[in-house]
Amino acid sequence: MQKYAVYDKEEIKKSIVSKLQRHNGCSLAEATEKQIYNAVADTVRDQIMNKLVATRQAVKQQKGKQLYYLSVEFLMGRSLHSNILNLCETAEYKQAFDELGLNLQDILHEEPEPGLGNGGLGRLAACFMDSLATEDLPAMGCTIRYEYGLFRQRIIDGQQVELPDTWLDNGNAWEVPKPEESFEIRFGGRLEEDWSSGDLHVKLVDYTPVIAMPYDMPVVGYDTDTVDVLRMWSARSPREIDLKRFGEGQYQKALEVRGLAEVLCKVLYPEDDHWAGKSLRLNQHYFFTSATVQYIIAAYKRDFGPDLHGLPDKAVIHINDTHPGLAIPELMRILMDEEGFSWEDAESVVSHMVAYTNHTIMQEALERWPEDMMRAQLPRIYQILQEMNRRLCEKLWKAYPGEWNRIAGMAILAYGQVHMANLCVAYTFSTNGVSQLHGDILKRSTFADYYGVMPEKFSAITNGITHRRWLMLANPGLTSLVCEAIGDGWVKEPERLKELLKYKDDAAFQENFAQVKADNKRRLSQWLILSQSDGFDPSFMVDTQAKRLHEYKRQLLNALHLLVLYNRIADDPNFTMPPRCVIFGAKASPGYRRAKQIIHFINAVGRLIAAHPRANKMLKVIFLENYCVSAAEVLIPATELSEQISTATKEASGTGNMKFMMNGALTIGTLDGANVEMDEAVGRENIYIFGARAHEVEAIYQGGLYQASDVFERNQEVRKAMTQMIDGTLAEPGTFNELYHSLLFGEHGGMADPYLVLKDFGSYTMAQERVNADYLNPQKWLSMAIANTACSGYFSSDRTIAEYNEKIWRLDPIEW
Ligand code: 26Q
């Protein structure tokens, strides 16, 4: 097991006290919570650093292949608790804290959360890092050190207001700056041909240089000595150039250079739904990608010598969606322009080294850049893309002779745009979907033409979540209960959670399970009272929809259903249902009007219900402000019903769905993304499936067989609720006109109700009625809930990572 740096409680206590003395010049009694947090984090960090050094030495010695996982987002969440957990020191720290008179929870809450991601894609990257380290795989995550993460959300008068996320204000206890591993990144400029050596060399002149400086954050494996690293690149202006230019009187130019460096890593873009050709965003992508590729080459040379032909045996690059796709032409550029490779040799190295995962089939989210922008900002990269495109189209022409349209759809450059997904499919050795259904859709639709010529590249590996953060850390009550019942084998082999199945109808186990859920509900309610002065009655069922706000995720379906329930209660004094607290957690991209209207609508429905004396005895709506990783850790363990209700085909996988399942929530959901596999894992009798299936949705989109107005006319409850949207029942008349119109008439010439909210409304309502009936039968409900936890082990990211490694990366685990 672990060889390095196990501290006992005495060492922990001594370290905390002495750090307070040395760093803050104060005693424990005098210290603020923040100072104590820093002393504790520093103590944990000392333990980690010992292992980090050991890991680096072991990797060097074993000369294995390294993974570089590139992602423009890593939504890590707080580190202190998970680091203590993964060091297997929870008990020691608890004891030390008790003896020092400290409260662990209070101190954990002092840590600012790094929100360096929007949602699923970024959180997946974080879960992957946890599993990579735990599986002893040598890996480095590579990203941007944003000064401001995703905005903080407040709800004021029912509407979203955005505030800046200043997570670095008090420093980051976990990062280690590595100025000696900085690289220069070049933007803009012009190309000059240089024949001075006899051969043609392309030279970039008059460019704007920016220095990329890395900060490393350790990622601790669970119960092992492996510590991997998340490398976050930060931009600085090159000082020498400043000085030189100032010396020459070119103040203006010097300030321009400084300008780019200053804005480059300022802020994470808050859109995860929609592509917008922002030139700064293109610069961000190139910045961290180029820095990473330069580092990969330098590290290879350091460890294996100057001949780079063996690179694919020692390094594999994984790109998390297309955003780091410029790694492909950047690697070509360095190999050809700086290392003297021929085109063919460079292409062979690159196409054996890079693998790609796609996370969306939504056309509007596919990354495309105007060719003019690419040419102006990255002239050499653009030139390489042109040549890659020329050669690609030549090959495609042979496969699809004469089919110009098809080839244009597969090209890297077409219709004045750079099509990043085509670049990635064409020049990587592996293209993956994130669930089985998503993988099938990629093959039969999004990349069908590519699948026709290179079928061997395609695979689907279903996403996962780290059960360490999402069960052990977030839900200690359930964790202990599970361990009492089946031991702790599942911690290392999560599929062994299955062993719980034999307790699903055991009365004593059920009672304890219910107790844990009740405790978690109380904890959530108290947390909500503290954070937004609004708790709930813990005897209410907790029904949660927590995820980014998107039309395709259909928060509107949920809210419209609440309005219908309200009407049933208001119109019928004898109507009853098991009381429910419906919680929404969702941020909308600041520029996404429709999403913001939906937030407003949810809050308006909530207000209406709260004001009605009988309705508020059966229903309560809470909009949880600023949904983020830390909020999820409190919310998910308390949830009894999980809403996973996207329009089938639209949610590539979903990962929140897995977290709720693992914590014993039942799912009401469509057969979309990984819900399909959750349904298979737990059995149809333990999940509430409703709505149009993927093939029906595809048929509707193709054939226009669906008329939203038919539902409006036939379903009187829908008609009434929709009319209330616009007649002043909820807000000033007119407030929700756009929502109403999009459901009934469509917009911009598109179809009415494009996400099939009304189409699925009837079957959603019926599924909710089944939920209510089952909730009235606690034995049945608990049995189903336990089955969900028991069958969730497959969705551990340890399984996902094992599959990626077996099918794609082929890394050898570090041997300890
Ligand atoms: C688009 C254009 C230019 C630059 C960036 C982007 C951009 C940025 C972020 C596009 C998409 C995203 C984020 C996508 C995302 O989070 N997708 C989710 O990924 C999860 C992990 O695989 C899945 O579980 C979700 O189903 C999927 O929606």
Question: What would the pLDDT profile of 602-622 be if each residue is shown by its tens digit?
Answer: 999 999 999 999 999 999 999
Measured in Å, residue 14 CA sits from the centre of ligand 1 at 45
Q: Per residue in 412-440, pLDDT tens?
A: 999 999 999 999 999 999 999 999 999 99
Confidence of residue 528 (pLDDT cuts 50, 70, 90): very high
Give whole-number Cα distances, 77 to 38, 112, 731, 751, in Å: 17, 9, 37, 39
Ligand 1 pocket member 651 (CB < 6 A): yes
Q: Which residue has the tokens 């949904």?
A: 627
Q: Which residues contact 290 (CB under 8 A, 6 or more apart)?
A: 183, 185, 212, 326, 330
The mean pLDDT of the chain is: 96
Joined tokens for residue 613: 């004396």
Name which residue sits closest to atom 7 of ligand 1, judged by CA. Answer: 272
Q: Tell me the catalytic residues.
A: 359, 547-548, 553, 655, 659
Least confident of 40-54, 149-163, 194-208: 194-208
- Residue entry with tokens 């104060």: 26
β-sheet bridge partners, residue 201: 194
In angstroms, how far is CA 268 from the centroid of its own chain? 13
CA 298 from centroid of its chain's CA atoms: 29
User: Confidence band (pLDDT; 50, 70, 90) for 1?
Assistant: low
Helix, strand, coil proportions of the chain in percent (round to 5)? Answer: 55, 15, 30
The candidate with the shortest Cα–Cα distance to 672, out of 686, 687, 692, is 692
Atom 25 of ligand 1 has which residue's CA nearest to it? Answer: 654
pLDDT at 292 over 90: yes
Grouping H, G, I as helix, E, B as strand and the rest as coil, residue 306 is coil
Asked whether the beta carbons of 297 and 337 are under 8 A apart, the reply is no
80, 104 Cβ separation under 8 angstroms: no
* Nearest C-alpha neighbor of 269 from the set 254, 293, 250, 285: 285
| Residue 268, ligand 1, Cβ within 6 A | no
Q: Residues 757-802: pLDDT tens digits?
A: 999 999 999 999 999 999 999 999 999 999 999 999 999 999 999 9
Q: Confirm or reject: Cβ of 119 under 6 Å from ligand 1.
A: yes
pLDDT of residue 240: 66
- For residue 358, the Cα-to-chain-centroid distance in whole angstroms is 13
Angle made by CA atoms 65, 69, 74, in degrees to the nearest 5: 150
792: helix, strand or coil: coil
Where residue 123 falls among pLDDT bands split at 50, 70, 90?
very high
For the chain, the residue count is 816
The arithmetic mean of pLDDT across residues 572-576, rounded, is 97
The residue whose CA has the least distance to atom 13 of ligand 1 is 272
DSSP string of 396-446, one letter each residue? HHHHSTT-HHHHHHH-SEETTEEEHHHHHHHHSSEEEESSHHHHHHIIIII
- State the sign of the Cα–Cα–Cα–Cα dihedral 546, 550, 555, 557: negative
Q: Give CA–CA dist 681/59, Å, rounded.
A: 37
Q: What is the pLDDT of residue 245?
A: 67
pLDDT digits (tens, 9 = 90+) for 716-747: 999 999 999 999 999 999 999 999 999 999 98
Half-sphere exposure of 141 (CA within 13 A, CB side): 34
**Separation of CA 550 and ligand 1 centre (Å):** 12
Q: Best of 146, 280, 359 to mutate for ligand 1, by most ligand atoms within 8 A of CB? A: 359
Distance CA 211, CA 184 (A): 5
330 residue type, one letter: E
Residues 6+ apart with CB under 8 A from 305: none
pLDDT grade for 258, boundaries at 50, 70 and 90: confident
CA of 323 to the centre of ligand 1 (A): 10
Can you give the C-alpha Rg of the chain in angstroms?
Answer: 27
Report the separation in Å between the CA atom of 360 and the middle of ligand 1, taken as the mean of its atom positions. 6
The pLDDT value given to residue 195: 85
pLDDT for position 705? 87
Tell me, in angstroms, the distance from the centre of ligand 1 to residue 670's CA.
20
Angle at 758 between CA 756 and CA 763, to 5 degrees: 95
Closest listed residue to residue 88, CA positions, set 253, 249, 223, 262: 223
The SS3 assignment for 262 reads helix
310, 311, 321, 389 from 349: Cα distances, Å: 8, 7, 21, 17
- Taking the CA atoms of residue 564, residue 569, residue 574 and residue 577 in that order, the dihedral angle to the nearest 10 degrees is 80
pLDDT digits (tens, 9 = 90+) for 370-403: 999 999 999 999 999 999 999 999 999 999 999 9
> CA–CA separation, 586 vs 609, rounded Å?
20
Residues 121/73, Cβ–Cβ less than 8 Å? yes
User: Which residues, other chains included, contact 778 with Cβ-Cβ below 8 Å and sequence gap of 6+?
Assistant: 510, 514
- Reported confidence tier of residue 347, pLDDT bands at 50, 70, 90: very high
Nearest atom of ligand 1 to the alpha carbon of 652: 26
Confidence band of 241 (pLDDT split at 50, 70, 90)? low
Q: Which tokens in the block code for residue 278?
A: 């922002």
The mean pLDDT of 79-104, rounded to a whole number, is 96
pLDDT in the model for residue 757: 98
Helix (H) or strand (E) holding 451: helix 448-453
Q: Is 655 in the pocket of ligand 1 (CB under 6 A)?
A: yes
Residue 166's alpha-carbon distances to 112, 120, 331, in angstroms, are: 9, 22, 34
Residue 688's pLDDT is 99
654 in ligand 1 pocket by Cβ < 6 Å? yes
Model pTM? 0.97
* pLDDT recorded at residue 717: 98
* C-alpha–C-alpha distance, residues 144 and 73, integer Å: 8
The model's confidence at residue 565, banded by pLDDT at 50, 70 and 90, is very high
229 alpha carbon – ligand 1 mean position (Å)? 23
Ligand 1 contact, 673 CB (< 6 A): yes
Distance CA 693, CA 609 (A): 32
What's the one-letter identity of residue 624? L
| Choice from 272, 587, 651 to test ligand 1 binding pocket (greatest atom count within 8 A of CB) | 272
Backbone angles phi, psi at 687, to 5 degrees: -155, 150
Two structure tokens written together for 608:
């209406």
Whether the CB of 359 sits within 6 Å of ligand 1: yes
Which structure tokens are listed for 164? 């800046």
Whole-angstrom distance, CA of residue 594 vs CA of residue 345: 49
Angle between helices 716-726 and 737-744 (to 10 degrees): 150
Question: DSSP 3-state assignment of 92?
Answer: helix
Asked if 233 contacts 288 with a C-beta cutoff of 8 angstroms, the reply is yes
pLDDT tens per residue, range 634-667 = 999 999 999 999 999 999 999 999 999 999 999 9
The amino acid that residue 403 corresponds to is E
Query: Are 160 and 599 in contact, with CB atoms under 8 Å apart?
Result: yes
Ligand 1 atom closest to the Cα of residue 651 is 26
Closest to 689 measured CA to CA, from 729, 653, 646: 646
Q: Which helix (H) or strand (E) holds 244?
A: helix 239-247
Report residue 246's pLDDT band, with 50, 70 and 90 as the boundaries.
Answer: low
